[in-house]
Amino acid sequence: MTMTRLPLTIWAFFITAILGVLSFPVLLSAAVLLLMDRGFGTSFYMSDIVTSSGALDATGGSPILYEHLFWFLGHPEVYIILLPALGMTSEIISTCSRKPIFGYRAMIGSMLAIGFLSFIVWGHHMFLTGMNPFLGGVFTFTTLLIAIPSAVKAFNFITTIWRGNVMMTPAMLFCIGAVSAFISGGVTGIILADSALDISQHDTYFVVGHFHIVMGMTAILGMFAGIYHYFPKLYGRMMNMRMGMAHFWVTIVCGYGVFLPMHFLGEGGLPRRYYENTNFPMFDHFLDLNILISIFASVGVLAQVIFFFNFFYSIFRGPKASQNPWNANSLEWTTPVEHVHGNWIGEIPTVYRWPYDYSKPGKEKDFVPQNIPLDDNEEEH
């Protein structure tokens, strides 16, 4: 199989792996330096620290260094969580719209661009650490650049669905939810990426609302989409559709119900990371909104009970799945329902085409799996 015949899910996993290999060692190094500071008398992070027993030996270090090292992992980590969800979303949206994915190469290019840029934006978490305003401007610029590949992906998701013969499976609903969260959470990122605007929003609930929608909701909705879509492949049985739909609608409404109001709390100046704010009367009028958030959060958690019941019940009692229940093209759906050693009985299939030949003109069926050879006069995508 050539790289341009790989499903976008696999591309996403591949790029995620590269990000992981490059970013986690930095966190490990940061932790080693921390251990040295705590246990072996070095001063990477400590400087001029005076305790009741006098000044510590430690000099010359900087606690800000820890922040730099942490966020050098921390920002790529966002995409380590996000990209697999976006990869599966591409796959499922194409399959369930019965249309080729729009802009296959642009999708790969966008993921590579997001992956590269994710390493040069970490300073946007640190605008208020006393960083040089020029440097803040540089991090603002690189961060805003990420909006371009992100927008390309969002447009490609939408144009793939556009005029498609859409199958509204629970997986497809969760994908649409993931794209919705990716867009609505991404838009507020443009505000936070700007070092000047960030001054008023930093460390408020606005930040909490933003990143839980763009990273948390997108990744979790995408993960659920993947579970509903690949369940028949995993367990040879189908999950219950109606329960899946109910799970989706309660989850998406509660997700937005929890995180959307947080933007207003943040605009009002409510700081994050406090257990309670009862000592600050100026935040008293935010109490109602906080109670509303708690109600949405509780109902949202209850909705997950539907999912867990559906999941475990279907493993044992779900109706038996056919080999390829969604009429999908990618190779995993050509394996037998019963799991066998080596995945396929006999020869490993040859791949002749990309996995997005849906509704191809001149074809009998609206899908052509990857192991079907090209016709004499057929062109590859």
The distance of closest approach from Cβ of residue 272 to Cu ion in the complex, given in angstroms and rounded to an integer, is: 15
Instruction: Indicate the residue among 129 and 322 with the shorter CB distance to Cu ion.
Output: 129
Instruction: Indicate the residue among 75 and 153 with the shorter CB distance to Cu ion.
Output: 75
The distance of closest approach from Cβ of residue 189 to Cu ion in the complex, given in angstroms and rounded to an integer, is: 9
Contacts of 293-299 spanning 24+ positions with Cβ under 8 A? 293/257, 293/258, 293/261, 293/262, 295/257, 296/253, 296/254, 296/257, 296/258, 297/254, 297/258, 299/250, 299/254
The distance of closest approach from Cβ of residue 125 to Cu ion in the complex, given in angstroms and rounded to an integer, is: 5
Instruction: Indicate the residue among 75 and 263 with the shorter CB distance to Cu ion.
Output: 75
Estimate the crossing angle of helix 218-235 against helix 287-317, to 10 degrees: 10
Instruction: Indicate the residue among 24 and 352 with the shorter CB distance to Cu ion.
Output: 24
Residue type, 315: I
The distance of closest approach from Cβ of residue 307 to Cu ion in the complex, given in angstroms and rounded to an integer, is: 29
Instruction: Indicate the residue among 75 and 212 with the shorter CB distance to Cu ion.
Output: 75
Please, is 105 exposed, middle or buried when counting C-beta atoms within 10 Å of its C-beta (0-12, 13-18, 19+)? exposed
Q: Are 124 and 201 in contact (CB under 8 A)?
A: no
The distance of closest approach from Cβ of residue 242 to Cu ion in the complex, given in angstroms and rounded to an integer, is: 39
Binding site for Cu ion (CB under 5 A): 75
The distance of closest approach from Cβ of residue 80 to Cu ion in the complex, given in angstroms and rounded to an integer, is: 12
Estimate the crossing angle of helix 63-97 against helix 8-39, to 10 degrees: 160
Tell me how far apart the alpha carbons of residues 198 and 187 are, in angstroms, rounded to a whole number: 14
Instruction: Indicate the residue among 207 and 331 with the shorter CB distance to Cu ion.
Output: 207
Q: Which residues of 262-294 are buried (b: 16+ CB within 10 A; e: fewer)?
A: bbebbeeebeeeeeeeeeeeebeebeebbeebe
